[in-house]
Chains A and B, each alone.
Chain A
């Protein structure tokens, strides 16, 4: 049977390791913080804005290889993908849950002070 080649090359993995480590709060999303292209991405942006934390975003719609590779890198099939302190935190549903319970704020405070 036919098997697709992995989009996550060793080079892309190394690059992503550096990218996620370079930011305290990083959101891979559809569109930009100013112009989200999807409701789920928009929701996470709104939550981060309301918590008043600095964060960076990367638009996965701009780069198909990045988009496919990230799914493997994070072991997560959809976007948005939130990284906190270099670690994958979750997608939209998990972030909403954590926002409601106060865990998100707690974790972000910890990350930003570390």
Chain B
């Protein structure tokens, strides 16, 4: 039984109140493989391992059915802004 993108999003939203969230179902529809890009104030002062653990914990129910979860970004709002800025300036070059 698969998990929907909406389920993943709603669990992450309720537990980590992200300011930016992008969940992509990369399974081709079976709901077993997702990538997550998430920006949350709750990541402030936490190492990447701790941040990923927070995401995993928020998805503990869904992870029983998800086969692969790739957390491509787990940033604080500040880091996110900086990254957006630098991407913009690179694009301008």
Contact = CB atoms under 8 A, between A and B. Distances in A.
Interface of A: 40, 75-78, 88-94, 97-98
Interface size bracket, B side: 10 to 19
Contacts of A88: 49
Given A75-B53, A76-B53, A78-B68, A90 B48 contact: yes
Given A77-B56, A77-B60, A90 B68 contact: no
A109 to B, nearest CB: 19
Majority secondary structure, A binding face:
mixed
A93 B60 contact: no
Interface in B67-93: 68-72
7 contacts: A40-B68, A76-B53, A77-B60, A90-B52, A93-B71, A93-B72, A94-B49
